[in-house]
A and B are shown apart, each in its own frame.
Chain A
Amino acid sequence: MSERLRSIAANAVLAGASLIMVLPFLWMAMASMAPQGEIFSGAIFLKPSLQAAWGNYAFAFSRAPLLRYMANGVIVCVAIIVCQVAIAAPAGYALAKLPFRGRPVVFAAIVLGLMIPIQVPAIPLYIGLAYAGLLDTYTGLVLPFIISGFAIFLFRQFFTSFPDDVIDAARLDGFSELSIVRRLMLPAAWPAVAAFAVFSFVANWNDLYWPLVVITRPEMMTPPLGLAAFRASGDSAGNVGALMAGGIVITLPLVIVFSTIQKQFIRGMAAPAAPAPAAPAPASQASASPAPSSR
């Protein structure tokens, strides 16, 4: 087979597969802008109309508090990321650079914890949150996820390659270990933080299981739970266009953002694998001006 023919065949296969990959998304977008009759006609291409689009989105926003769901999603995801980084960065630094007793045990426990999916501790966590009166709260949504073994792993790996003499110089300048983490390590680990943040955001934004367990009040629902509730409610019955509009609203912003920063995301996904890039910052600069340049 000639090179040219092979290339055409490969492109045909990939174009077909790509179409299937984006099909539910395309369809969702088309249906969210199409009139009811058009959707029910079984046509392959749905003719959009401004009036129908307005009707579908207005109906979705009026029957389901989509903006509230989105705000809940942002609050929960950001709170989780902040806690995860605040806990994981010092731990990752200690595991990488500080010789303390029990370090192998701590590391082993973290790796062990990394393997346990949320469904396993879910029942005792649920009972505990119920007794503490924390069901249907942001705390209940956030708490189980504040510890990320994955984040500790990632930070430890990133910090291991950080030059020791820079750290020693900072110590001589009177930095405490915590301020070394805050002012030296975290700024240097910015790519790792970004990669992890993106990864964590997607995972927690899309999670259905835990919100379904702890949330019953509509105003506390996260986007996937809210959409599932909208779908199950009588409001969306028969109104496919409005349901699709709801789906677009909770999916589109993230898909656009994350498709443009694919690289960071993939780095986060394959991170336990990839060799950590060496952290720069020459020793002289660090000891001369302890505050790292802001980026």
Chain B
Amino acid sequence: MTTPASPRLKAQRRAGLLLTAPAIVALVLLVLLPSSAVIILSLTDYQLGNTQAAFVGFANYRTIAADPDFRHSVRNTLVFVGLVVPGSIIPGLLFALLIEGRTRFKSVYRTAFFLPVTATLVAMSTAWEVLLHPTFGLVNTLLFAAGADKLRFLSNPGIALYAIAGIGIWKQIGFNVVLFLAGLSTIPRELYEAASLDGAEGGWRRYLLVTGPALAPVMLFVTIITTIRAFSEFDTVAVLTDGGPVHSTSVVLFVLYEEAFRYLKIGTGSAIAVMFLMFIALLSLVQTRLAGRARHV
């Protein structure tokens, strides 16, 4: 860089502040301030409409920790995450590898897997509800044809969460296939040629030697984003089951929504929001730490 005249540098500095000002103001007012406020609210007994509130320490946190409905929702969320994360990443990678290896129909497959990524989940959930209908749903028709009993997927408390997780996997597989395909397309061909010179001709050895390591940053990105999305499950539950039957599908964000916006319990709702934030922050921290080692995706 040339040594700039001092007034010009000054002008650039001023312009820099001026051009970032709208972003800073919006960020502070719409994200950072409300996010700090939610921490404060979680320590008070504030009620909507009140002009004052008392500091109650960690009472709200103790209340939700002792609340069986909340504990149940944490368990449900963990089950949901435990199903959706491996259930969408492993097949997602497999399908992406298979698609990448095709010469024909590649774009047909890509479009099919892309569909759930953009389709409105609320609409797709209502379609799944019909497909899973206990009497005339296609899934039950097929089960019956295969000699199995028909299942009340969304109204049996024993299996409703698995049905919701199935929809979650369906949605997330497409997303992951698209990301893996984007990652695979950046792997240089020469790496494969070098690997085959070294005698790694077969699929597995090729994967272990070239694809796996080259795809590691994408794998990290996909794992973190899938985990965050699975923890943020809301739409399907809100639309199809309303957390039921008997709380069997109520997940953390659904309880947060009910607590804060249906029952207007601001204090306990805020406490759940803070715990959700801490969890997301932890995941993001893990990601940045790990990504520091690997090349960022």
Chain B residues with Cβ below 8 Å from A106 are 20, 23-24
Given the known A-B contacts A212-B238, A223-B120, are A99 and B13 also in contact in the complex, defined by CB atoms under 8 Å? yes
Check B23 against A91 for contact (C-beta < 8 Å).
Answer: yes
Shortest Cβ gap from A235 to chain B (Å): 14
A169 contacts partner chain B, Cβ-Cβ < 8 Å: no
- Closest residue of chain A to B22 (Cβ to Cβ) is A87
A104 contacts partner chain B, Cβ-Cβ < 8 Å: no
Q: How large is the interface on B (under 10, 10 to 19, 20 to 34, 35 or more residues)?
A: 35 or more
> Quick one: CB contact mask for A169-209 with B, threshold 8 Å, 1 for yes?
00100001110010000000000000000000010011011
B34 contacts partner chain A, Cβ-Cβ < 8 Å: yes
- With most chain B CB atoms within 10 A of its CB, the pick from A19, A269, A272 is A269
> Quick one: CB contact mask for B23-44 with A, threshold 8 Å, 1 for yes?
1101100111111011001000
| Residue from B30, B117, B124, B280 within 8 A of A143 (CB atoms) | B30
Within 8 A of A (CB), among B152-171: 170
Shortest Cβ gap from B140 to chain A (Å): 8
Shortest Cβ gap from A159 to chain B (Å): 11
- With most chain A CB atoms within 10 A of its CB, the pick from B13, B127, B178 is B127
A98 to B112, CA, bound (A): 44
Chain A residues with Cβ below 8 Å from B93 are none
A113 to B297, CA, bound (A): 19
The number of inter-chain residue pairs (CB within 8 angstroms) is 296
Check A98 against B13 for contact (C-beta < 8 Å).
Answer: yes
Check B113 against A258 for contact (C-beta < 8 Å).
Answer: no
B90 contacts partner chain A, Cβ-Cβ < 8 Å: no
> Quick one: CB contact mask for A246-258 with B, threshold 8 Å, 1 for yes?
1110110011001
Given the known A-B contacts A123-B266, A147-B31, A251-B123, are A90 and B19 also in contact in the complex, defined by CB atoms under 8 Å? yes
Chain A residues with Cβ below 8 Å from B128 are 24
Shortest Cβ gap from A210 to chain B (Å): 11
> Quick one: CB contact mask for A118-145 with B, threshold 8 Å, 1 for yes?
0111111111101000000000000110
A102 to B280, CA, bound (A): 26
B64 contacts partner chain A, Cβ-Cβ < 8 Å: no
B9 contacts partner chain A, Cβ-Cβ < 8 Å: yes
Shortest Cβ gap from A14 to chain B (Å): 5
Chain A residues with Cβ below 8 Å from B135 are 40, 42
B55 contacts partner chain A, Cβ-Cβ < 8 Å: no
B209 contacts partner chain A, Cβ-Cβ < 8 Å: no
- With most chain A CB atoms within 10 A of its CB, the pick from B123, B127, B260 is B123
Chain B residues with Cβ below 8 Å from A19 are 112
| Residue from A44, A146, A240, A255 within 8 A of B30 (CB atoms) | A146
Shortest Cβ gap from A151 to chain B (Å): 9
Given the known A-B contacts A94-B15, A125-B30, are A209 and B115 also in contact in the complex, defined by CB atoms under 8 Å? no
Shortest Cβ gap from B42 to chain A (Å): 9
| Residue from B37, B102, B228 within 8 A of A14 (CB atoms) | B102
Q: How large is the interface on A (under 10, 10 to 19, 20 to 34, 35 or more residues)?
A: 35 or more
Chain A residues with Cβ below 8 Å from B8 are 171
Q: Which of B67-75, B81-89, B103-111 contacts A (4 or more CB under 8 A)?
A: B103-111
Check B126 against A227 for contact (C-beta < 8 Å).
Answer: yes
A23 contacts partner chain B, Cβ-Cβ < 8 Å: yes
Given the known A-B contacts A95-B20, A117-B280, are A21 and B112 also in contact in the complex, defined by CB atoms under 8 Å? yes
A82 contacts partner chain B, Cβ-Cβ < 8 Å: no
Within 8 A of A (CB), among B185-200: 186
Check B182 against A270 for contact (C-beta < 8 Å).
Answer: yes
B257 contacts partner chain A, Cβ-Cβ < 8 Å: yes
Chain A residues with Cβ below 8 Å from B19 are 90-91, 93-94, 98, 177-178, 181
Check A10 against B98 for contact (C-beta < 8 Å).
Answer: yes
In the complex, the 7 A-B pairs of residues with the closest C-beta atoms, listed nearest first: A100-B16, A121-B34, A98-B16, A18-B112, A177-B15, A24-B127, A91-B23
Cross-chain pairs A/B with CB under 8 angstroms, 16 sampled: A21-B112, A23-B138, A24-B170, A25-B127, A42-B140, A117-B232, A117-B276, A119-B256, A120-B34, A127-B266, A206-B122, A213-B261, A225-B122, A228-B239, A231-B126, A266-B182
6 extra A-B contacts, CB within 8 A, seeds A209-B235, A254-B120, A266-B182: A23-B131, A100-B20, A123-B269, A212-B238, A224-B235, A244-B127
Give me the interface of A with B, judged by CB distance under 8 Å: 7, 10-11, 13-14, 17-25, 27-28, 31, 39-44, 86-88, 90-91, 93-95, 98-103, 106, 109-110, 112-113, 115-117, 119-128, 130, 143-144, 146-147, 149, 152, 164, 171, 176-178, 181, 202, 205-206, 208-209, 212-213, 223-225, 227-228, 231, 240, 243-244, 246-248, 250-251, 254-255, 258-259, 262, 265-266, 269-270, 272-274
